[in-house]
Structure 1
């Protein structure tokens, strides 16, 4: 290599060619989509979140039924048994109960989620696109904000998903919960949700960014356009890992959101430790892992769908902005 050459092979009359200060010979990564407007992040995130949750809603229903102890005729923790029970007793429509609440909550929540993430990532990364710690912290900030928007509709969704749910629909559920339990019932699980989603999101975003970067280094030809397969694979890996780690807290969240409905236990204190003790007493420590399979089956493809849709939306807006800027200069 040139840097290892001894002085006798160097010619003093050959001067090094000066390089501009911004010259970097290494392979550059794909564009970071910086420069998008805040509302464009919100729209891209809203579309991505809605597509993700609506596409995977039947799997989410199975997970909820398996985690809501005592609320359904499903006694086995197997996905096949859970699905068979729903289809026998309610038909395919049973897999989509509560989808209206999901549609109302997923769009606004994910608009907040991704816009806060992008804002915080830019603020915390210090210009370093490979700062995994900044990605994780940004993800935590994003989930705290988005959970405040989504939790009430998530409560409605899960109560409608239960077998023999006493509610006729979204409006009936909202009205009755307000009248019978008060506004606080919509946020009974918020603390648990944040405690669950904070590590989930930290693992999710850090894994996604790291996996995407690794895939693009393995296949540099994809760095110029960030192909769909990169986002889908990175998103699936991030979703599956995050889901596996946080399943026990997800079981606690389901119990809090469905308490007192269809035979679910009602908790006086509503503390996480109280719920965990009840679950362990009733179902053993294995009860804390109920629904882990459908949860992973949900989050792996859901994250792949979500990230692919989100990145496609960002690319669309980037091209739109580029076209607008070029037209304004002509």
Structure 2
């Protein structure tokens, strides 16, 4: 039987009887050996719980994400920057009406499910390993775990995020996910799907560090006030606070990411390189420093409830699997 990998504070009583005692002449296995379980769940269960949480989160908040893309993508110099209301009117004015707010939803689903599966399983793996070394409830362990998780998941999600953003634009030249992928491959090459990966990681690393550290801290604080620290209300409230704060801090990098992904489409400006610094300078020269905060309102409107939905769905899925595993042991 593989080594048990649950943290000490949630170690299941049955595990002690199942796990053979390590002989004194053999050193313990390293913490990063491949685990079978952590917190009573197998890692495929974390992946499935994370996948469900990601799809539910992004589907529920997709129209807000579409408005953010419209505001951040940029426009030719002769057009003013879009306000939130103008972005909404612009999005629904064309073909499809209100349904246009959901353009690109299939691309999101194809990317978000696998990406969140990677995200949460890497987070749980890293958190367990780091808290073993740094102690429980250590903010540095939570932040570092989040950064490792986002670097892995962004590699999975970035190509489909590029497709999604291009489909979200008004008068997008693409008829669907398959057409967009084929056209970009033919005209721009496979590297176009990853042109924003570096920016995405640079953005999501601090976003995730702030998010997870805030989430774990808020959950502990709310747990002291609530009867049950693991209630869905606590997870949702802590998640919303973490999402809103992290979104506000990282909006400038999100603007850069969006403009790199949408460059050359529907009149959006094309950049000579994928350098974050070059895009920053171009935005500041064209729109001033306020251009770096374009779309901050829908971004916060997206991430606060999205994080609440994601964390509560994820924790509910974990609880389901815990009950499922407990039932199988009986």
Identify the TM-score tier after normalising by the shorter chain.
0.7 to 0.9
2:87 aligned to 68, 79, 82, which one?
Answer: 82
The C-alpha deviation readout for 1:182-213, integer Å capped at 9, x for no partner, is 01000000000000000000000000000000
Q: What are structure 2's unaligned runs of at least 5 residues?
A: 1-8, 13-37
3-state SS in 2 of match to 1:222 = coil
Is 1:70 the counterpart of 2:75? The answer is: yes
Aligned to 2:3: none
Q: Is the 8 A contact 2:94 2:171 kept in 1?
A: no
Aligned residues: 296
Aligned to 2:112: 106
1:318 aligned to 295, 303, 322, which one?
Answer: 322
Aligned to 1:61: 66
Shift of 1:249: 0.1
3-state SS in 2 of match to 1:125 = helix
List structure 1 runs of 4+ shifted beyond 4 angstroms. Answer: 71-74
2:313 aligned to 300, 309, 317, which one?
Answer: 309
Shift of 1:125: 0.8
1:154 aligned to 132, 157, 161, which one?
Answer: 161
Q: Is the 8 A contact 2:75 2:81 kept in 1?
A: no
Shift of 1:79: 1.3
Q: Is the 8 A contact 1:109 1:146 kept in 2?
A: yes
CA distance in 2: counterparts of 1:129 and 1:302, whole angstroms: 27
Is 1:134 the counterpart of 2:141? The answer is: yes
Cα 1:228–1:60 change in 2 (3 A) is: same
Is 1:270 the counterpart of 2:277? The answer is: no
Is 1:48 the counterpart of 2:53? The answer is: yes
CA distance in 2: counterparts of 1:103 and 1:319, whole angstroms: 27
The C-alpha deviation readout for 1:244-273, integer Å capped at 9, x for no partner, is 000000000001101111111111221001
CA distance in 2: counterparts of 1:254 and 1:52, whole angstroms: 20
Aligned to 2:290: 286
CA distance in 2: counterparts of 1:315 and 1:86, whole angstroms: 39
CA distance in 2: counterparts of 1:110 and 1:74, whole angstroms: 37
Cα 1:73–1:34 change in 2 (3 A) is: farther
Aligned to 1:22: none
CA distance in 2: counterparts of 1:239 and 1:254, whole angstroms: 19
Q: What are structure 1's unaligned runs of at least 5 residues?
A: 1-27
